[in-house]
Amino acid sequence: MIPRLARAAIISLSALTCTAQASEEVNVYSYRQPFLVEPIFKAFTDETGIEVNVVFAKKGLIERLKLEDRNSPADLMLTTDIGSLNDLVEGDLVQAAASDVLEANIPSAYRDPDDRWFGLTVRARIAVVSKERVADGALKRYEDLADPKWQGRLCSRSGKHVYNVALVSSLIAADGEAVTRAWLDGVKANLARKPQGNDRGQVKAISEGACDVALINNYYMGNMLADPEQAAWAESVSIVFPNQGDRGTHVNLSGVALTKHAPNRENAIRLMEFLSDDQAQAIYAKVNYEYPVKPGVAWSPLLQSWGTFKTDPVPLSEIAALRVDAIKLVDESGFDD
Ligand code: FE
């Protein structure tokens, strides 16, 4: 039996621990949008008592982290593609976060071999084709987009957008630089209009008859179908997973990295682990129609309806390493001019 006095001491000690826990925090700089990550952070705080403070922005967060240097409050960076994860590594702005949980949850192709970044969701760069004007099976590979049969029928966002740069990197990895250079020229020659707008804008253009084919990230199909003003755009197209007969469809990652001077390092690693685990992975899948990195987490019904597909197995670290070459080729092709 515990003497009364000692028991009182234990109670007050646990009360103290609770107070200490309530003031625990972790600070996140996020390129991911509030609608997506806020439900995940709330679940994390409910489970751990650790508050999550977030700065949301569409750009400039890496520059900000760099300027703030060791005075930065940021513990974690959340990004929407492999390129920015690579920028963080190249800028010496992150540190390794070795963790058994992260290693168990995230397949090795989707994390840095040196633990400096971790993928959290997989996004496939799929093709969308007009249901009315493109026959089933007419487009099978990214490489086909350079075929003159598509002349005047392609729409694209900027060739220098990170999603397209990663795709071009994957083509360099698969086909080499010379073939990719010729591919860019061929695709440019097939464009119906100067590159413009975002991924959804290309689908809108197809629905309006401005072009017949475009490349988009898979989750935009889900986002558009869920939006009464955009559903008709999405319904005007069929989706194609390119290169199913050979290397597979190119995928990119959203991910997370631990900042070099993270003031709340332990809490940050706990949040990283939480982001890679079942509950958060299920929210990513449900709220934004992305593919969970963690095997076994259920896909959204829409993605399930598309079925499984083969993904290009080239490691994302290799895609990141080819980025400078990819940007150079896109520039030289005058793709956006
Ligand atoms: Fe996006």
| pLDDT tens-digit series, residues 42-76 | 999 999 999 999 999 999 999 999 999 999 999 99
In the reported structure, the alpha carbon of residue 21 is separated from the centroid of ligand 1 by a whole-number distance in angstroms of: 35
Fold of the CATH domain 123-249+317-333: D-Maltodextrin-Binding Protein; domain 2 (3.40.190)
Dist. CA 180 → ligand 1 center (Å): 24
Residues of the chain with CATH 3.40.190.10: 13-122+252-298, 123-249+317-333
The CA 282 to ligand 1 mean position distance, Å, reads 18
Ligand 1 centre distance from Cα of residue 102 (Å): 24
Distance 284 CA to ligand 1 centre (A): 13
Cα 5 to ligand 1 centroid, rounded to whole Å: 59
Rounded-to-integer distance, Cα 8 and Cα 16, Å: 12
What is the model's pLDDT at position 13? 38
Q: Is 13-122+252-298 in CATH node 3.10.20.740?
A: no
Nearest-CA neighbor of 130 among 227, 202, 226?
A: 202
Contacts of 205 (CB under 8 A, 6+ apart): 155, 192, 193, 197, 211, 214
**Cα 182 to averaged position of ligand 1 atoms, centre (Å):** 27
Determine the distance separating the centroid of ligand 1 and the alpha carbon of 23, expressed in angstroms.
Answer: 34
Distance 288 CA to ligand 1 centre (A): 10
**How far does residue 217's CA lie from ligand 1's centre (Å)?**
7
Tell me the CA–centroid distance for residue 317 and ligand 1, in Å.
20
* Under-50 pLDDT residues of the chain: 1-22
Distance from the alpha carbon of residue 227 to the mean position of ligand 1, in angstroms = 16
Q: Using CA atoms, how far apart are residues 122 and 81, in angstroms rounded to an integer?
A: 9
Q: Ligand 1 centre and the CA of 76: distance in Å?
A: 20
- Residues 64-116 have pLDDT tens digits of 999 999 999 999 999 999 999 999 999 999 999 989 999 999 999 899 999 99
Tokens 């899948």 map to which residue? 285
CA distances from 220 to 200, 201, 287 (A): 7, 10, 12
Q: What is the pTM of this model?
A: 0.89
Cβ atoms 218, 307 nearer than 8 A: no
pLDDT for position 21: 43
The pLDDT, as a whole number, for residue 23 is 73
Distance 254 CA to ligand 1 centre (A): 9
